[in-house]
């Protein structure tokens, strides 16, 4: 069976990762969560004192000088769940916390950060047989991807899903309003930034999952992938 390249882009918290992971597992493909890579750079900047979490001020020159030291890899636990590794340390939990979520968009808007991560992502996809999710996969990373999907859902539905996820991890302080604000802010920054703004590639298929269950969206995506593999 031919091994294709699948690009999945879309808004934050719309379930892209869930469906991309499920598809990669079914097809036995590599899965790459590029959002985790931008989050890992953000965590690095915060820890190194190169970004202020309150003011969001970034020491861009300092970060640029250290980009080669930002070592991002992936591993997985016994259950097969993918874990992000920064400089040898598993940081999967830290990169999902609100501090990083609130700081990641300005980091992802820095051209040198994008150049660095896009080059890494393109290397990961050289062999095909990959499902990559992000914001610019179909437009910048793999403009010739065999299958491009653009996923979306309403901001309220996405905020509710993210809140449940945080609560499931024991967060009792974050409110629906906090998460909705974060989702809306990130939508705005992600689609208005100068470098690689979030947009649907002309040849991407649109998947609005506001009213779809996870099994329904997985089924639809698998059908599109199989149609593409068998074409
Ligand atoms: O998918 P996510 O919420 O984990 O992504 C985190 C941030 O990284 C989000 O604000 C958008 C940004 N991002 C990006 O600019 N390009 C990508 N390919 C992936 C994520």
User: pLDDT per residue over 115-140, tens digit each?
Assistant: 999 999 999 988 889 999 999 999 99
How far does residue 185's CA lie from ligand 1's centre (Å)? 13
64, exposed or middle or buried, with CB in 10 Å at 0-12, 13-18, 19+? Answer: middle
**Ligand 1, atom nearest to 105 Cα:** 10
Q: Which residue's alpha carbon is at the smallest distance from atom 2 of ligand 1?
A: 35
Residue 191 near residue 199 (C-beta atoms within 8 A): yes
How far does residue 108's CA lie from ligand 1's centre (Å)? 7
Q: How many other C-beta atoms can be found within 10 angstroms of the C-beta atom of residue 136?
A: 24
pLDDT tens by residue, 198-218: 899 999 999 999 999 999 999
pLDDT band at 58 (very low <50, low <70, confident <90, very high): very high
How far does residue 25's CA lie from ligand 1's centre (Å)? 22
User: What's the predicted TM-score (pTM) here?
Assistant: 0.89
> What letter does residue 143 receive in the DSSP assignment?
T
pLDDT tens by residue, 83-126: 999 999 999 999 999 899 899 989 999 999 999 999 999 999 88
The pocket around ligand 1, CB under 6 angstroms, is made up of: 12, 34-35, 38-39, 104-105, 108, 134-136, 186, 190
pLDDT for 191 equals 87
How does strand 89-90 pair with strand 130-134? unpaired
Q: Which residue's alpha carbon is at the smallest distance from atom 18 of ligand 1?
A: 134
How far does residue 75's CA lie from ligand 1's centre (Å)? 19
Six-digit token string for 24: 């990669």
What whole-number distance in Å separates Cα of residue 64 and Cα of residue 69? 10
Between 5 and 194, whose confidence is greater?
Answer: 5
């Amino acid at each position: 069976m031919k091994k294709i390249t699948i690009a999945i882009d879309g808004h934050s918290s719309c379930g892209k990762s869930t469906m991309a992971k499920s598809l990669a597992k079914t097809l036995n493909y590599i899965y790459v969560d590029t959002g985790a890579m931008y989050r890992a750079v953000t965590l690095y900047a915060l820890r190194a004192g190169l970004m202020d979490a309150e003011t969001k001020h970034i020491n861009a020159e300092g970060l640029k000088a250290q980009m080669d030291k930002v070592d991002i890899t992936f591993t997985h636990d016994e259950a097969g769940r993918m874990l992000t590794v920064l400089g040898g340390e598993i940081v999967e939990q830290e990169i999902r916390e609100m501090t990083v979520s609130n700081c990641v968009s300005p980091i992802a808007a820095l051209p040198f950060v994008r150049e660095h991560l896009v080059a890494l992502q393109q290397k990961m996809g050289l062999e095909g047989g990959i499902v990559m999710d992000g914001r610019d996969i179909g437009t910048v990373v793999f403009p010739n991807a065999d299958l491009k999907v653009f996923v979306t859902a309403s901001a309220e539905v996405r905020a509710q899903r993210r809140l449940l996820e945080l609560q499931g991890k024991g967060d009792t302080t974050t409110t629906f309003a906090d998460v909705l604000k974060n989702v809306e802010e990130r939508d705005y920054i992600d689609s208005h930034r100068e470098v690689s703004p979030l947009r649907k590639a002309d040849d991407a298929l649109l998947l609005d999952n506001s009213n779809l269950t996870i099994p329904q969206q997985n089924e639809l995506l698998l059908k599109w992938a199989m149609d593409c593999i068998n074409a």
